[in-house]
Amino acid sequence: MGGIKQCRAAWLVTGSCLFSLWWPVSFALASSDSAKVISAMTVTEDKHGSKSTSKPAVIALVNLDEVSPDCQQQVTMARIKTVAYSESGMTPEKIKFDWQGNALDVATNVGENPVLTLEEIQAAHQFIRVGKQYLIHFQLCSDGQQRSLINLYATLNPPNRPARKMKS
């Protein structure tokens, strides 16, 4: 949990953090009965920069599937290309992203997870966005034919700063 606390502190001070730098590398204890939607408070300013408000924002979906010792685990930074939703449109069922030069569809396990509440499923729906970059932890089973999402982390980039002009 130190990674979340460090990132939350960095977010409050700088408005940015990158989970891949602080998040623990050990994924051996992941389990679908402990799935969680992780949120942190974000601070925003009005257009004049005077008022700041804070609201919770989803920063990660964790333990969406059990880690299988018979499967190959992968971690990559990638942009989501497409999202396939359930028939109702409420639940993100699959995400597609580029991995090792191929477009890869991965089941999210959001709708099949018995511990996620309706509010958490809605939060996951809001969190997963086409074009957004994530740190994606997934597994490949049965020679890569079955693909399953384990963890999905937001990558929060620092704000763009104007380039400094060099004095000549």
pLDDT digits (tens, 9 = 90+) for 113-127: 788 999 999 999 999
Task: Write the single-letter amino acid at 58.
Answer: V
Residue type, 14: T
- For the stretch 137-165, pLDDT in tens is 999 998 888 999 999 999 866 555 566 66
Tell me the C-alpha to C-alpha distance, in Å, between residue 11 and each of 120, 147, 148: 22, 32, 29
- CA-atom Rg of the chain in angstroms: 18
Which residue from 153, 135, 150, 136 is spatially nearest to 71, judged by alpha carbons?
150
Task: Tell me the three state secondary structure of residue 141.
Answer: strand
- Model pLDDT, residue 168: 60
Distance CA 83, CA 118 (A): 19
- pLDDT attached to residue 74: 95
Q: Structure pTM?
A: 0.70
Domains delineated in the chain: 2-156 (2.40.50)
Higher confidence at residue 27 or residue 167?
A: 167
pLDDT confidence of residue 8? 42
Q: Could you give the count of Cα atoms lying within 13 Å of 93 in the half-sphere of its Cβ?
A: 7
Q: What is the pLDDT of residues 7-60, one digit of tens each?
A: 444 344 334 444 433 333 333 333 467 889 998 887 777 777 666 777 788 999
